[in-house]
Amino acid sequence: MINKRIYLDNAASTPLDERVARHMMKILVETPGNPSSPHHEGQQARIIIEEARDAAAAMLGSESRDIFFTSGGTEANNSALMGMARAMQNHGRHIISTPVEHPSVRAALEALEKEGFSVEYLKPGADGNIAPASLNSLLRDDTILVSVMYVNNETGIIHPVREMAGMLAGHRALFHVDAVQAFGKLDFDVHSLPCDALSFSAHKIHGPKGIGGLFLRHGTPFRPRAVGGGQEANRRAGTENISGIAGLHKAIELCRERPEHRRQARRLQKHFEQGLREIYPRALILGEQTLRSPYISAIALPGIDNQSLLLNLDLQGVAVSVGSACSSGSIKPSHVIRAISEDETIVNSTIRVSYNRYQTIEDMDEALMRFKTVLNR
Ligand SMILES: Cc1ncc(COP(=O)(O)O)c(C=O)c1O
């Protein structure tokens, strides 16, 4: 009998913090107004949004007016890429990205290709990371947009986006960073990482699903996708998701202790990786030779089929993943692992284990015991 499940799929989504849930419930019940209304109830709702905007801006070191809320990371990525590319098309139609982006970036780029934009991809090196210098080889006069994610959601690899931003200084191309796996976890701001647009999402930091936002530096050419009532300074129409925005605000507040959260995640990651190597000496940590987030491990277990491992671990009460959440359920091998390794053994045996700040070494030990049971079979 398995009495406690161990959730190691925090890169897909983190558990909602109870303090966030309680705060959201209060807002849901006590906020009848539409934030666009001029009366008291409307203005109460407006205040909730503007305070959350200030908190998101403080986290990113930006001006509050440069933040708008979306339904999450996917919409932020879609809006950024489509909104900026379409607004820039008179200057050129060349876009640069990487083959390891989240599906919400990949699909947006494919849609733009159908509109006549051309996209080229920076290839990861032997360590799985993208060398900043490779940007120079693809950058052209008609490049209008570069999009590179900060932390890869499948490997945890930290891309050199600061260096890339520096290289783009003085070039017309706009720079978008998908920071969904970095926001609230790593320390950065839009001064040390001078990008034009940056996406974030609440449910990776113990906030609610379905809310996130985009930092869009003022003056950046942009065509909104949702049009209507002119909300969010004409960047995203539609009555705002007040309780979600309040939940995001609370989740941001809870990230204040992020150096300690990171230390805990690193302890868990080290302990788990080392433990798994003892159980399965052929285990290979992807991205080990480069910078990695402490929250994610991509581990290849040559000789093991990752799909059946996932299912068997699930039966033992352990949740891990193969690829990103959006493609889980399908049996397609991960495009990310394939982009960093040509070895099919690696592609078909890699699992993702991802941690959260509230987990303990005891949780890792329990998970390792269950891994051992399954791997021995
Ligand atoms: C790197 C990255 N970008 C974008 C997203 C999409 O965010 P959301 O789930 O809020 O739409 C995710 C979530 O899986 C992600 O990991």
| pLDDT tens per residue, range 93-149 | 999 999 999 999 999 999 999 999 999 999 999 999 999 999 999 999 999 999 999
Q: What is the CATH number of domain 6-16+257-376?
A: 3.90.1150.10
Mean pLDDT of 154-182: 97
**pLDDT of residue 262 exceeding 60:** yes
Using 50, 70 and 90 to split pLDDT, how confident is the model at 332?
confident
Question: What residues form DSSP beta bridges with 67?
Answer: 215
Atom of ligand 1 nearest to the CA of 325: 14
Q: Is there a contact between 107 and 54 (Cβ–Cβ < 8 Å)?
A: no
Which residue is it, tokens 């690829």? 323
Distance CA 245, CA 177 (A): 21
Rounded to two decimals, the pTM is 0.97
Q: What is the DSSP letter of 328?
A: B
Residue 365 has pLDDT above 80, yes or no: yes
User: Under CATH, which number does the domain 18-253 receive?
Assistant: 3.40.640.10
Atom of ligand 1 nearest to the CA of 104: 4
pLDDT at 3: 74
Q: Ligand 1: which residue has its CA nearest to atom 14? A: 12
Q: Tell me the C-alpha distance between 228 and 236, whole Å.
A: 8
Give me the pLDDT at residue 70, please.
98
String of DSSP letters for 164-232: HHHHHTTSS-EEEEE-TTTTTTS---TTTS--SEEEEEGGGTTS-TT-EEEEE-TT-----SS-SS-HH
Instruction: Flag whether pLDDT at 368 surpasses 60.
Output: yes
Residue 346 has pLDDT above 60, yes or no: yes
Query: Domain residues of the chain, as ranges?
Result: 6-16+257-376, 18-253
Per-residue confidence (pLDDT) for residue 40, from 0 to 100: 98
Give dist(CA 8, CA 228) in Å, integer: 40
* pLDDT at 331 (0 to 100): 58
Active site residues: 326
Q: What is the pLDDT of residues 306-330, one digit of tens each?
A: 999 999 999 999 999 997 555 555 5
Beta-carbon contacts of residue 96 (< 8 Å; ≥ 6 apart): 119, 120, 121, 122, 135, 138, 139, 143, 145, 146, 147, 173
Mutate which of 81, 180, 293, 321 for ligand 1? The one with the most ligand atoms within 8 Å of its CB, which is 180
* Dist. CA 281 → ligand 1 center (Å): 32
pLDDT at residue 291 tops 70: yes
pLDDT category at 357 given cuts 50, 70, 90 is very high
Instruction: Give the atom of ligand 1 at the shortest distance from the alpha carbon of 211.
Output: 10
How far, in Å, is the centroid of ligand 1 from the Cα of 3?
A: 30
pLDDT: which is higher, 2 or 88: 88
The CA distance from 284 to 201, in Å, is 30
Nearest CA to ligand 1 atom 16: 153
* pLDDT, tens digit (0-9, with 9 covering 90-100), for 5-60: 999 999 999 999 999 999 999 999 999 999 999 999 999 999 999 999 999 999 99
From ligand 1's centre to the CA of 279, what distance in Å?
A: 32
User: Any residues with Cβ below 6 Å from ligand 1, and which?
Assistant: 72-74, 77, 102, 104, 149, 153, 178, 180-181, 201, 203, 212, 324-325
Tell me what percent of the residues of the chain surpass a pLDDT of 90.
95
Atom number, ligand 1, closest to the C-alpha of residue 72: 10
